[in-house]
């Protein structure tokens, strides 16, 4: 029999549930498929830098799979709506009788998968969809009365206890097939319309492609840095204090089970560590936001979790939005953050919160505009985490920051970049300032010698205005 594995956000050979299942029958001939869907990607705001990482990862994967006699096929259709028909004609032309994929949890992806499965099954083709993206998948971590959690701490307690109860199993790479029925297609080097905003040599240096690079990064992190995670994770100048695995998790070059296992091995070998527990808890946040997508579908559809916040009248100020995008707000920590995103395709978690809060609370600009801008520039862009992070920062989400607790950019900067090392890296125009002045260069009086803008808003006044607008929503449940 002939099996097809449709790869999406799972670009790896090791611990890929659908791939393992497709290869379970040693007699079966197996091929893999990856689809280019430019029109759909445009609608989703997919970043060119992320696509480039995917293409480089696929190039390695294609070679790995070819050695196992699993050719990787590449096809192009404009959007998700065209996929069911394409899959059916491919199966009919090649005599494929079983199709396998790993579930995705975003709304459009789920609609697409249901349509594809329905059409294939109606034509006598077996479809297997596997839960693979999470250690414990959405729908399996529920409250006592069977509902989705909306608060992280009780979710995490339940999630961890289920993990310990069931154990975590990492699938090895599949065994070599006896033969391949066709040749792999060349993996494209680029797709028109999805150019990376980060220069390619820099992108490749920062984010080398392939599951081998992802596994190497996991090993270095757990060996050398994980035991200081809690202490150092909030300092953006320390680029190795966090794992930097988010781009690989987002495209599936590595699985969360592999991350879990590396952490568990480290704990087993060298004893308990609150730092490693904390890192595992971040993997939990990743899963929590995927559960939220499934449990509360409105967040997939540009709607806030807290529906009463739909009444907020966000400022429609294109010029202010552009200054934020360009890193020219006059608040160094916000500007350095935005320039890190532009220069590397990634932004430190503390800075994502600071930049997102500044856009939504200081400028009172709609979180959805920031969410889309991030998506278009992030190498780790992921709907669940990005939407979750934005709604947390905007106080429109579940378990979000309370609307009256607004980050003060200068205090955040002094606390998390005390020596200004991060600021100097991305704001060379401020490099000559001392460690005190660099956080608010024009605070005492305007410095005409600096080629750096004045703060575009008065932070305190802006916060008062924002708090009063949220308060006017009335009693929040
Ligand atoms: P580590 O600290 O090493 O954490 C390990 C892994 O846990 C990460 O790779 C990531 O997969 C997961 N993780 C960590 N923190 C979070 C979190 N708060 N929410 C969900 N998962 C988390 N993360 C994305 O992967 N894609 C996004 O598009 C994204 N957008 C964000 C937008 C905003 C406004 C905010 C506040 C956060 C966003 N995050 C996003 C979460 C977080 O900032 C990144 O996952 C983290 O900075 C990645 O760095 P790391 O791999 O070194 O993380």
Q: Give the burial class of 87: count Cβ atoms within 10 A of its Cβ; 0-12 exposed, 13-18 middle, 19 or more buried.
A: buried
437 & 320 share domain: yes
Judge whether 260 counts as a catalytic residue.
no
Tell me if 204 is assigned to some domain. no
354 Cβ below 6 A of ligand 1: no
* Domain-ending residue, one of 228, 263, 295: 295
Judge whether 266 counts as a catalytic residue.
no
CATH number of 158's domain: 1.25.40.80
Tell me if 183 is assigned to some domain. no
Atom of ligand 1 nearest to the CA of 233: 2
385 Cβ below 6 A of ligand 1: yes
Q: Which domain holds residue 257?
A: 133-169+210-295
Judge whether 390 counts as a catalytic residue.
yes
Distance, CA of 208 to CA of 245 (rounded, Å) = 11
Q: Per the structure block, which two tokens stand in for 161? A: 């206890």
Indicate if the alpha-carbon torsion angle 71, 76, 80, 82 is positive or negative: negative
383 Cβ below 6 A of ligand 1: no
390 Cβ below 6 A of ligand 1: yes
Distance, CA of 241 to CA of 435 (rounded, Å) = 22
Select from 172, 170, 154, 171 the least CA-distant residue to 162: 154
CA of 122 to the centre of ligand 1 (A): 40
pLDDT at residue 475 in the model: 63
- Spans in the chain with pLDDT lower than 70: 475-477
Distance, CA of 158 to CA of 318 (rounded, Å) = 44
110 & 237 share domain: no
367 & 442 share domain: yes
Tell me if 370 is assigned to some domain. yes
pLDDT at residue 456 in the model: 97
Binding site for FAD: residue ranges? 229, 242-246, 279, 282-289, 380-382
Tell me if 63 is assigned to some domain. yes
421 & 340 share domain: yes
Distance, CA of 47 to CA of 37 (rounded, Å) = 13
CA of 410 to the centre of ligand 1 (A): 23
CA of 240 to the centre of ligand 1 (A): 14
Residues contacting 31, CB < 8 A, separation 6+: 2, 3, 4, 5, 70, 71, 72, 73, 94, 96, 180, 181, 182
314 & 342 share domain: yes
Q: Let me know: does 36 contact 75? Beta carbons within 8 Å.
A: yes
pLDDT at residue 476 in the model: 55
Domain count, the chain: 3
pLDDT at residue 474 in the model: 78
Strands 98-102 and 126-130 come out as parallel
Residue nearest to atom 6 of ligand 1 (CA): 283
116 & 6 share domain: yes
Element (H, E) at 407: none
Tell me if 272 is assigned to some domain. yes
CA of 420 to the centre of ligand 1 (A): 23
pLDDT at residue 164 in the model: 96
Tell me if 118 is assigned to some domain. yes
396 & 439 share domain: yes
Tell me if 184 is assigned to some domain. no
265 & 280 share domain: yes
Cα 95 to chain centroid distance, Å, stands at 36
140 & 272 share domain: yes
pLDDT at residue 177 in the model: 97
CATH number of 8's domain: 3.40.50.620
DSSP 360: I
Number of neighbours of residue 146 by Cβ within 10 angstroms: 7
CATH number of 453's domain: 1.10.579.10
Number of neighbours of residue 355 by Cβ within 10 angstroms: 30
380 Cβ below 6 A of ligand 1: yes
Q: Per residue in 194-241, pLDDT tens? A: 999 999 999 999 999 999 999 999 999 999 999 999 999 999 999 999
Tell me if 178 is assigned to some domain. no
41 Cβ below 6 A of ligand 1: no
Judge whether 349 counts as a catalytic residue.
yes
3-state secondary structure 79-113: CHHHHHHHHHHHHHHHCCCEEEEECCCCHHHHHHH
275 & 404 share domain: no
């Amino acid at each position: 029999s002939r099996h097809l594995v449709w790869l999406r956000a799972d670009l790896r050979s090791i611990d890929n549930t659908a791939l393992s299942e497709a290869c379970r029958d040693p007699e079966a001939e197996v091929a893999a498929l990856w689809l280019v869907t430019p029109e759909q990607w445009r609608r989703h705001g997919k970043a060119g830098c992320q696509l480039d990482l995917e293409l480089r990862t696929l190039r390695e994967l294609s070679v790995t799979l070819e050695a196992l006699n699993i050719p990787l096929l590449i096809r192009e259709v404009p959007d998700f709506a065209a996929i069911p028909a394409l899959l059916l004609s491919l199966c009919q032309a090649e005599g494929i009788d079983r199709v396998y994929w790993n579930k995705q949890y975003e709304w459009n992806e789920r609609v697409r998968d249901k349509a594809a499965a329905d059409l294939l099954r109606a034509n006598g083709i077996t479809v297997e969809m596997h839960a693979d993206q999470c250690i414990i998948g959405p729908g399996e971590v529920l409250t006592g009365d069977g509902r989705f959690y909306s608060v992280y701490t009780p979710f995490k307690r339940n999630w961890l206890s289920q993990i310990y109860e069931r154990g975590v199993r990492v699938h090895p790479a599949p065994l070599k097939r006896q033969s391949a029925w066709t040749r792999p297609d060349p993996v494209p080097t680029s797709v028109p319309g999805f150019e990376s905003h980060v220069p390619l040599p820099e992108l490749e240096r920062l984010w080398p492609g392939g599951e081998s690079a992802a596994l190497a990064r996991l090993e270095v992190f757990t060996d050398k840095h994980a035991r200081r995670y809690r202490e150092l994770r909030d300092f953006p100048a320390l680029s190795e204090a966090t794992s930097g695995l988010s781009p690989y998790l987002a495209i599936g070059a590595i699985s969360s089970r592999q991350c879990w296992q590396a952490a568990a091995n480290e704990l087993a070998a060298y004893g308990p560590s609150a730092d490693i527990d904390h890192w595992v808890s971040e993997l939990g946040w990743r899963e929590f936001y995927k559960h939220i997508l499934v449990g509360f579908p409105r967040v997939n559809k540009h709607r806030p979790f807290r529906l009463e916040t739909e009444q907020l009248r966000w400022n429609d100020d294109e010029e202010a939005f552009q200054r934020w995008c360009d890193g020219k707000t006059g608040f160094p920590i916000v500007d350095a953050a935005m320039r890190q995103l532009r220069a590397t395709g990634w932004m430190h978690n503390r800075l994502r919160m600071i930049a997102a809060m500044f856009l939504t609370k200081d400028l009172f600009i709609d979180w959805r505009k920031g969410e889309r801008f991030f998506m278009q520039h992030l190498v780790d862009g992921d709907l669940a985490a990005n939407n979750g992070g934005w709604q947390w920062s905007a106080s429109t989400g579940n378990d979000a920051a309370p609307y009256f607790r607004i980050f003060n950019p200068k205090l955040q900067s002094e606390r998390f970049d005390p020596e200004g090392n991060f600021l100097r890296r991305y704001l060379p125009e401020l490099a000559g300032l001392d460690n005190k002045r660099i956080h608010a260069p024009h605070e005492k009086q305007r410095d005409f010698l600096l080629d750096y803008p004045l703060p575009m808003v008065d932070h305190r006044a802006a916060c008062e205005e924002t708090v009063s607008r949220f308060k006017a929503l009335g009693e929040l449940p």
